[in-house]
Amino acid sequence: MAAVSMDLVKQLRDKTQVGMMDCKKALEEANGDFDAALDILRKKGAAVAAKRADNVTNHGRVESFVNADNTVGVLVETACETDFSANTEAMKEFAINAAKAAAQANPASLDELWDKSADGALTVKNQLDELIAKICENIKLNRFARFQVAGNGLVNVYIHPGSTVGVMVELTTDKPASTHTDALKQIAKDVCMQIAVTNPVCTRPEELDPAVLAKERAFALEQMQTSGKPANVIEKIVEGKIAKFYQDACLMNQPFIKNDKQTVQQYVDQAAKETGMQVTVKQFKRFAIGR
């Protein structure tokens, strides 16, 4: 077993954030070979992951990456055993790097993402192994969503303080978004914040599952059957209940959280006028830890 310098131990510590003694042992085992010591620590992370695979992961964080021109965005959700680990810089860095790798490589699934990397860095799998070696918890990359603008528009994200809720929104426009990027980013961020608070089911009523809507209508009608009211009055009341259901379930029908005198659709239309564009909320994705 070769002796290793404290300077080399420190370099490995700075590279991996694993404890000094673990770094020293890995370097000794690798006879001072830095890259081999890295592999040893990654294997240790994989072994820890296998050992703790059944441990409950009720904590985690949501992070994101959006490219420079806001045409590609990724939202990721990680999971771990403790809130302490979820709030470490190492966990945050891993989540952001995974999002960046997904943005650049456009993987079709989580399985495909494991072997991808961003800007020539380590693969997502190797980064996760290093993270587990450092934190010694069951850590997972639960899911990701990727939006890429086709045509005119942009993507923006909002991560709620605490990083337990994150939202990504894609806007489409009838003119190049680059002419009013800041204004459009603000619209998208406001819509993201709306979604973070209200958790809508869909963007517009036409996107609702017809079976769900029929069930809501049947339930409302059943509630009114014993009211003794005339059929035409019952029908109006049922339609009112359906409208309220749309308000709760459909993003664009909801009262806007910054001004409940207007709907989200009215807010977007009003803000769009200032840009001289037609702006449409095309899609959204919301991740929340534990939900």
pLDDT digits (tens, 9 = 90+) for 159-208: 999 999 999 999 999 999 999 999 999 999 999 999 999 999 999 999 98
Report if residue 256 sits inside a domain.
Answer: no
Phi, psi of 108 (to 5 degrees): -85, -15
Yes or no: say if 182 and 204 are a contact pair by the CB < 8 Å rule: no
Give the pLDDT of residue 56.
Answer: 66
The number of distinct structural domains making up the chain is 3
Residue 287: which residues within 8 A CB-CB, separation 6 or more? Answer: 62, 75, 76, 77, 143, 145, 165, 166, 167
Find where tokens 């309220």 sit. Answer: 244
Query: Would you tell me how many other CB atoms lie within 10 Å of the CB of residue 3?
Result: 8
Do 63 and 136 reside in the same domain of the chain?
yes
Report if residue 260 sits inside a domain.
Answer: no
Do 73 and 15 reside in the same domain of the chain?
no
Do 166 and 282 reside in the same domain of the chain?
yes
Residues 81, 287: Cα–Cα separation, whole Å:
18
Report if residue 89 sits inside a domain.
Answer: yes
Do 129 and 190 reside in the same domain of the chain?
yes
The per-residue DSSP string of 33-64 comes to: -HHHHHHHHHHHHHHHHHHTTTS---EEEEEE
Query: Is pTM, for the whole model, over 0.85?
Result: no
26: closest CA among 12, 14, 15? 12
Report if residue 32 sits inside a domain.
Answer: yes
- In the sheet where 279-288 sits, what is the strand order? 153-159, 165-173, 279-288
Give me the CATH number covering residue 155. Answer: 3.30.479.20
Give the pLDDT of residue 184.
Answer: 98
Find where tokens 């079709």 sit. Answer: 108
Yes or no: say if 148 and 66 are a contact pair by the CB < 8 Å rule: no
Residue 89: which residues within 8 A CB-CB, separation 6 or more? Answer: none
Secondary structure element (H or E) that encloses residue 9, with its range: helix 6-16
Report if residue 121 sits inside a domain.
Answer: yes
Question: 74: helix, coil or strand?
Answer: strand
Give the pLDDT of residue 202.
Answer: 95
User: What is the distance, to the nearest Å, from the Cα of residue 169 to the centroid of all Cα atoms in its chain?
Assistant: 11
Query: What residues make up the domain containing 139?
Result: 59-200+273-288
Do 93 and 175 reside in the same domain of the chain?
yes
Give the pLDDT of residue 195.
Answer: 98
Predicted confidence band of residue 87 (pLDDT cuts 50, 70, 90): very high
pLDDT digits (tens, 9 = 90+) for 124-147: 988 898 888 888 888 999 999 999
Report if residue 97 sits inside a domain.
Answer: yes
How many angstroms separate the first and last alpha carbons of the chain? 49
Query: Most confidently modeled of 31-40, 83-92, 117-126?
Result: 83-92
Radius of gyration of the chain (CA): 25
